Structure 1
Amino acid sequence: MADHLDALNDGLAQLHTAVGTDPVVADKTRFCLIGFAGTAEVLQQLCSPSDVVRLVGLATQAGTNFGAAFTTLRDTIEADVAALKADAYQVYRPAVFFLSDGHPTDPAIWPAAYERLLDPDWAARPNIIAFGIGDADAATIGRIGTFQAFMSRGGVSPAAALHGFARALTTSVVRSGSDSDLLLRVPTQVAGFTALRIDQL
């Protein structure tokens, strides 16, 4: 991500501005940011978008450990759902926007963490919208996406693709949060990306 991190951080800032200033959407949605490289960490604890003064900027590190990302994600969802329910909130299955520009550096490990994240007996398993840019493997991105999956098109710069990702993310959050039924709504076409086919098992 080193060559196009600024574009991603700009896109996240635009998301924060668009969602945090919409009182209807901000009231219905909660936002959390997890970064991963060799390890994974929660960069922004779950909160209302309007409560965030400034998003933590993403930084580059070595590695692309998908297993750490999925393990941290599962643990974070479990804790967040429990906290929300303890505060008497009505909780819906979370939506996860997963973005990577490389191949997993733990190919023998990450599938088990991914399967645990999507355990059909776990009510809080997330809907995942996956985006691959740069050197990401289309087959892997398509496998990770459970709701939709996209791969950046050849000839489109990573920075331009990231801006398309940020616009799609913002549009999805605003549309979903504005809906009285809180339906997950993601554009079927995203600028700079080609939609990947997700086969039902």
Structure 2
Amino acid sequence: MPLQESLDLGASYEAWPFYVVCDVSQSMWHQRWHPNESLSPHYVMNTSFAGMLEAIDKDISARHIAHLSVIAFHDSAEVVTPLCEVADGAPAAPIYTLPKGNQTNYAGVFKKLATVIREDTRRLTEQRRHVKGPAVFFITDGQPEVGGSRQADEVWLPERDKLVDPGFAYRPRIIALGLGTVDERTLRRVATTDPPGAACIADPGTTPADLLRSIIDIIVFSVTHSSASGSFVFETPRGMRRVA
């Protein structure tokens, strides 16, 4: 199901930040859930990101406009790859080594994202780049959890709301992509409506490895087609359905 929103067309001095935010809590990698490591979501992400960047770099429209960053979250959140222009060497970066954590700290990752996006957009504007509204692909397989218990909505939602506050000129759109035990209500609350985002959840019976490959394909599609058209473009990944 396509999602499009018109944005100003621009020239090569434009910068469009895209963030891939990955849940790396235990349920994404532990043998308890994934006896075959090569089929775990963590493994698929680790081995697919270099190819994802390579595919984006080959697209003439995207390579000088798209800027990409990878952020991982678990007990805390960390920038795996700082935001950089795809044509500026991102595909040549070392193999992406995502950390492995335990918990699913939504409050921590939204707080980190707010800081990172503000710093990145400030740096780009200082370089006299025309910055398009950032897009966040938020990949998770579980409910927010810290200290062995559910992280309350009143703890993580305020951090998410600060990130997308209308007072921030570069507030991001969020595409929430859920597999595993995450529920529809949580995904709908993560995704943005202004600017328009989306929430997608896995169809029953689809393996996590297949879902992650499909998600990565759609991220490539979204970045390249958005860069070419000047409008944000997204389609529901195979094996998923839209819930918002």
Count how many residue pairs are aligned between Structure 1 and Structure 2: 194
> Counterparts of 2:134 and 2:208 in 1: how far apart (Å)?
27
Residue 116 of structure 1 pairs with residue 162 of structure 2? yes
Aligned 1:44-123 pairs, distance under 5 A: 44-50=81-87, 51-52=89-90, 53-54=92-93, 55-105=95-145, 106-107=151-152, 108-123=154-169
1:14 corresponds in structure 2 to 51
> Counterparts of 2:184 and 2:51 in 1: how far apart (Å)?
27
In the TM superposition, residue 30 of structure 1 has moved relative to its aligned partner by: 0.5
Q: Which of these residues, 223, 229, 241, is aligned with residue 173 of structure 1? A: 223
> Counterparts of 1:72 and 1:59 in 2: how far apart (Å)?
16
Runs of 4+ in 1 over 3 A off after TM superposition: none
Segments of 5+ residues of structure 2 without an aligned counterpart are: 1-27, 35-39, 146-150
1:184 corresponds in structure 2 to 232
> Counterparts of 1:64 and 1:22 in 2: how far apart (Å)?
34
> Counterparts of 1:20 and 1:119 in 2: how far apart (Å)?
32
Please tell me the residue identity of whatever aligns with 1:192.
Answer: G
Aligned-pair identity (%) = 28
Please tell me the residue identity of whatever aligns with 2:184.
Answer: A
Residue 36 of structure 1 pairs with residue 86 of structure 2? no
Greater Cα radius of gyration, structure 1 or 2: 2
C-alpha contact (below 8 Å) 1:25/1:177 kept by paired residues: yes
Deviates more, 1:18-27 or 1:95-104: 18-27
Q: Higher strand share goes to which structure?
A: 2
Please tell me the residue identity of whatever aligns with 2:82.
Answer: Q
SS at structure 1 position matched to 2:82: strand
| CA deviation vs aligned residue, 1:60-86 (integer Å, no higher than 9, x gap) | 211100111101101001001110011
2:148 corresponds in structure 1 to none
In the TM superposition, residue 136 of structure 1 has moved relative to its aligned partner by: 1.3
Determine which structure has greater relative contact order: mean sequence separation of CA pairs < 8 Å that are 6+ residues apart, divided by chain length.
2
> Counterparts of 1:78 and 1:125 in 2: how far apart (Å)?
9
Please tell me the residue identity of whatever aligns with 2:202.
Answer: S
> Counterparts of 1:9 and 1:113 in 2: how far apart (Å)?
27
Q: Which of these residues, 186, 189, 198, is aligned with residue 140 of structure 1? A: 186
TM-score normalised by structure 1 residue count: 0.92
Q: Higher helix share goes to which structure?
A: 1
